[in-house]
Each structure stands twice: as C-alpha cells, then as structure tokens.
C-alpha cells in the first residue's frame, strides 16, 4: 500500500506538507519523492509491488503533468498496448498508464479502469488538480481545506490533522475536478436487475469470483493469504491454491486460550496444501495495543476496532517474519450476500436496501480495517470479493434469491462452489462467525471488562453526554471514542456512526454489534 498526498495550491507550505506526509511512511517504505508542480506539491511513498525497478517510482510525469496513484490497475498491459503507438512507457508499473489515458480520454478514463485505486493528478496544461477513487473505496483517500481554502488530499486522515479543520473521506466512485465531486460509478445501485435463474447465478458467481482471485495473483512481489477458516477467506485461498504452481502461504490468528477459527483454518490449509502459519494473541497484547490500533485506524467504531486487533497482529507478524508484500483477504462478501442479522430482513426490498447501504459505507468499516492493518505493516491488500465485475453482478441479482430462505446464510456462494471440491463440506457449509468473535470470544470479553473498570456509571453517563454526534452508548464505545478524539479531535463525522445491525428489524434491536447477541447465532461460536 503506497501513500499519496497533494497540497493543491500555490500557497502550499512545504514544511507543513512534509509534516503530514511523513506520518504514513510505513505505507511506502521503499522510496519517497515529492514534486513541486509550481502550484502546490505531490508526494509519494512507495511500496514496490509492480515494476520493482527505480523506473516505477512515482510521481509519473508527461510533459508538465504529474500523477501519483496508490493502486492496482488490472489489465494494464492491454491498456499500454493500445496506447503504445502514441506514448513511450519506461517502466513495468501499472500506474504509468494513467497520464496517457487522461490525455486521451479525460475524466472518462475513470469509468474505464478495472482497478483498486486512489490517485491525484496535476494537469500542467490547465494548472489544475484532479483526484479520483475506486467505486468501492478499497484504496483510501481523504480531503479537506486549509485556512486559505486550498484543498488537500491524502491517503489517510492522520496526514491531514495539522493542515485542515475538517477531514472528510473522498467519496468512492467519484472524481474531483474544478472544485466539484462528480460520480462516475455508483456500484451500490445496479444499473439493471438480473433475471438469471438460480443455477445460472451460481455458475456466474463461481466464474466471476475465480477470475477476481486469479487477476489478483499477478505481482512482482511475494503474495500471501489471510485464512480465518471462515467461508470467504477459505474460498479465496482454495481458488488461489488451484491457480498457483507452488503451495500458497496462509496465515491465521487466534487468542491463545479459546480461538475458534484456528482449527478450521488448519483444516482448510491441510486440504488445499498451503504452507500455513498460526499466530497467537494474548489478553495483554489486546489491551496494550488498543490505543495504537485506534490511532492507525482513525475510527471509534466498535466492531471495526474489535476485528482489527487480530488482523493488525497477524499482519505485524507477517511483516516482521516473512518476505511477503501482498495479502489477499476475504472482505466484502458479507455486504453482498448477507450478515447473520440480515436473516431478519422483512422482505427482499429491505434486504437489498441494506446491502446497498453497506456497500456504500464499506470504505468506513471493513475496508478501512483491512487497509490500515495491512498497510501500517508495509503490505498491500487485495480484495477478490471487491472485484468490480463480481460486485456489479451480485448486486444486480434478484434480492429474493440472496435472502436466507435455505436455512443457511450465503447460500448462493456456498452452492456456487459445492460441485468441484474446492473446500471440505464442513467448511463450505460452516455457520458464519464474525472475525472479532472467531479469534476467540475472550478477546471482546477482555475489552469490555477493561472498559467497565475504567468508568463508573456516573462517569460514563457524564462523558457520553458530551458528544452530540455518534454518542457513545456503552462504556466500551466511550473508551474508543476518547482515544479517537485524542488523535483526531472533532473529526467524528469521518465515520457514518456505529456499525450496527438494522435496529428497525425485529430481532435486531440490540446494543452490541456482535452476532453473539442475536437469536440466530447458533453454532457460529463452535
């Protein structure tokens, strides 16, 4: 995961720019470069994944124009070939294609990209800046305005805390030009409804997910896989194992005392023949790393923080003990196919609206978690379930088919892979368990206990009342909010409140985001 930043005006202060930019050097520890465009600054911290030679270093230039991009552009070889008659390419980097594309197609280029990306582009001919972000928001981008009204873009909120008054997430599927944000793709709302029957839907899910995994295996750096033992990460690993000539390298984490997932991850690893590594976390680590994790995340959301504890620690071990640079993960499946709580959706229309909401806000929750936990450890995340073709198709499928009428959540995804032996039956049909629970129920229990001891009931009520936006509603949520505010004061609106089940649905009016509090949790904790 690289880091990009742009201070987009002639009044930009270099020292202030660098002060913010240096906060995310761990995203790109291989090299750093800043260019003065004559109308501000563009900066790039490099994590070399594609085109490992110095020629792949950004910012790329074309005439008087520059671009910095944190991303992976799939199928860039074809794009380069199409443009090679008019442009000379000097590197093997996928992102070098962006400036020629902009010169040929203007802002129409963004809708043409099959990519996970965030970019900032300086147009030297018009002396203006553009920025854009992928439709799901897999690659992070934030913005704000300094005291002179100059816009500043950066990969993370922490880059901007000393530069702007209000930090906002750059909306996914938008580009910025001439002071306006323009939507080029709203992936949460399908352009048309798919009328495919059940068998056709399952076949296409199978083929599109397989293609999404395969294209993400292409890298000039070493690739690894996060394997929880749940359905989503297990499918990604199983597909990759079939497509790889050598055993893939998989990693799992759990509490030292009551890990739920580790045994399932081990079973999957044995089945697919991966080179598997287990990492254990302790109660002491959970508490001691809590403040650091909240700082690196830039959120106060309960479920995001809980799920990040294990993910951060396993990624740290991968960074410290291996030569892996790229990690494939299983995020985004839940938003497409349903959580445990979406079993309570009253009808198909409500299910679809909830899915659209989750996809629209995804960049603030699970995607944010994966990006920060992985990038802070100088690794790159790739998300096959976020493949644009795959997401567009699943979102277009009749919601009635996606609802749990089958006695098992995510039925379409499970059925899509039941015929060709990718996974053992007991894994393919295993009950879903959230990652924050599946690393061991004790982890959340320790966090709750720690928060409970920190505040009396009177202190909790008094402190919680100080917040008008996203008011803390438990001692645990207050603890997280206070830590967040110490690093990001007054920036709570970066997050669309707390991730919680839809309280309007019967069975979902709960006071905790964990599926453990739902009546249908069942065998998820076994």
The enclosing domain of 123 has a CATH number of: 3.60.20.10
List the catalytic residues: 2
pLDDT of residue 427: 93
CA distance 247 to 241: 7
One domain, residues 334 and 232: yes
pLDDT-based confidence at 442, cuts 50/70/90?
confident
Q: Are residues 433 and 250 in contact, defined by beta-carbon separation less than 8 angstroms?
A: no
One domain, residues 405 and 339: yes
One domain, residues 64 and 208: no
Task: For residue 237, tell me if it sits in a domain.
Answer: yes
Task: For residue 457, tell me if it sits in a domain.
Answer: no
Task: For residue 521, tell me if it sits in a domain.
Answer: yes
Q: Give the residue from 400, 394, 261, 423 showing the smallest Cα distance to 334.
A: 394
One domain, residues 179 and 219: no
Q: Give the residue from 276, 270, 277, 275 showing the smallest Cα distance to 424.
A: 270
Q: Give the CATH number of the domain where residue 416 resides.
A: 3.40.50.620
Is 267 exposed, middle or buried (CB count within 10 Å of its CB: 0-12, 13-18, 19+)? middle
Task: Encode pLDDT of 120-135 as tens digits.
Answer: 999 999 999 999 999 9
For residue 59, what are the domain limits?
3-183
One domain, residues 348 and 285: yes
Per-position b or e across 466-484, b if 16+ CB within 10 A of its CB: ebeebebebbbbbbbbbbb
Q: What is the number of structural domains in the chain?
A: 2
Please tell me the pTM assigned to this model.
Answer: 0.95
Task: For residue 319, tell me if it sits in a domain.
Answer: yes
Q: Give the residue from 290, 296, 279, 299 showing the smallest Cα distance to 376.
A: 296
pLDDT of residue 469: 97
One domain, residues 158 and 228: no
Task: For residue 428, tell me if it sits in a domain.
Answer: yes
One domain, residues 503 and 423: yes
Task: For residue 480, tell me if it sits in a domain.
Answer: no
Task: Encode pLDDT of 243-273 as tens digits.
Answer: 999 999 999 999 888 778 899 999 999 999 9
Q: What angle do CA 209, 132, 129 make, to 5 degrees?
A: 160
- CA distance to 227, 337, 407, 509, per residue, from 231 (Å): 10, 12, 16, 27
Task: For residue 473, tell me if it sits in a domain.
Answer: no
Q: Is 403 left (phi over 0), alpha (psi -120 to 50) or beta?
A: beta
One domain, residues 147 and 208: no
One domain, residues 420 and 514: yes
Q: Give the residue from 215, 259, 260, 262 showing the smallest Cα distance to 240.
A: 215
Task: Encode pLDDT of 70-110 as tens digits.
Answer: 999 999 999 999 999 999 998 889 999 999 999 999 999 99
One domain, residues 263 and 177: no
Task: For residue 451, tell me if it sits in a domain.
Answer: no
One domain, residues 295 and 421: yes
Q: Are residues 210 and 416 in contact, defined by beta-carbon separation less than 8 angstroms?
A: no
One domain, residues 167 and 239: no
């Amino acid at each position: 995961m690289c880091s990009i930043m742009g201070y987009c005006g002639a009044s930009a202060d270099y020292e202030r720019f660098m002060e913010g930019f240096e906060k995310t050097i761990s995203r790109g520890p291989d090299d750093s470069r800043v260019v003065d465009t004559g109308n501000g600054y563009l900066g790039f911290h490099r994590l070399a994944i594609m085109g490992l030679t110095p020629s792949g270093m950004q910012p790329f230039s074309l005439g008087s124009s520059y671009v910095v991009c944190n991303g992976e552009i799939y199928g860039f070889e074809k794009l380069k070939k199409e443009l090679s008659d008019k442009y000379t390419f000097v590197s093997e980097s996928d992102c070098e294609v962006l400036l020629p594309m902009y010169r040929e197609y203007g802002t129409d280029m963004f809708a043409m990209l099959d990519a996970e990306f965030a970019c900032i582009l300086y147009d030297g001919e018009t002396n203006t800046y553009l920025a854009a972000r992928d439709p799901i928001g897999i690659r992070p981008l934030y913005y704000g305005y300094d005291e002179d009204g100059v816009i500043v873009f950066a990969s993370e909120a922490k880059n901007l805390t000393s530069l702007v008054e209000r930090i906002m997430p750059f909306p996914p599927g938008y580009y910025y030009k001439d002071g306006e944000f323009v939507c080029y793709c709203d992936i949460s709302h399908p352009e048309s409804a798919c009328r495919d029957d059940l068998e056709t839907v399952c076949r296409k899910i199978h083929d599109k997910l397989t293609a999404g995994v395969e294209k993400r295996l292409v890298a000039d750096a070493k690739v690894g896989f996060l394997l929880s033992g749940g359905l989503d990460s297990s499918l990604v690993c199983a597909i990759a194992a079939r497509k790889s000539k050598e055993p893939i390298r998989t990693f799992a984490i759990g509490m030292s005392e009551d890990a739920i997932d580790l045994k399932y991850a081990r079973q999957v690893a044995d089945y697919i023949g991966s080179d598997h590594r287990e990492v254990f976390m302790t109660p002491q680590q959970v508490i001691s790393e809590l403040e650091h994790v909240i700082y690196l995340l830039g959120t106060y959301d309960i479920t995001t923080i809980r799920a990040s504890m294990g993910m951060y620690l396993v990624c740290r071990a991968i960074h410290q003990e291996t030569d892996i640079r790229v990690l494939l993960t299983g995020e985004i499946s839940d938003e497409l196919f349903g959580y445990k709580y979406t079993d309570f959706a009253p009808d198909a229309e409500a299910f679809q609206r909830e899915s659209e909401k989750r996809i629209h806000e995804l960049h603030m929750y699970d995607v944010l978690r994966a990006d920060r936990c992985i990038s802070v450890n100088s690794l790159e995340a790739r998300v096959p379930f976020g493949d644009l073709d795959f997401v567009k198709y699943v979102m277009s499928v009749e919601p009635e088919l996606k609802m749990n009428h089958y006695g098992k959540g995510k039925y379409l995804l499970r059925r899509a892979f039941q015929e060709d032996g990718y996974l053992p039956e007991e894994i393919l049909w295993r009950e879903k368990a959230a990652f924050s629970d599946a690393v061991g129920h004790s982890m959340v229990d320790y966090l709750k206990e720690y928060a409970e001891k920190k505040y009396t009931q009177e202190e909790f009520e008094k402190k919680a009342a100080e917040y008008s936006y996203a008011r803390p509603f438990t001692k645990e949520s207050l603890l997280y909010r206070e830590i967040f505010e110490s690093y990001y004061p007054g920036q709570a609106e970066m997050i669309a409140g707390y991730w919680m089940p839809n309280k309007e649905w019967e069975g979902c009016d709960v006071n905790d985001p964990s599926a453990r509090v739902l009546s249908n949790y069942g065998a998820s904790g076994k």
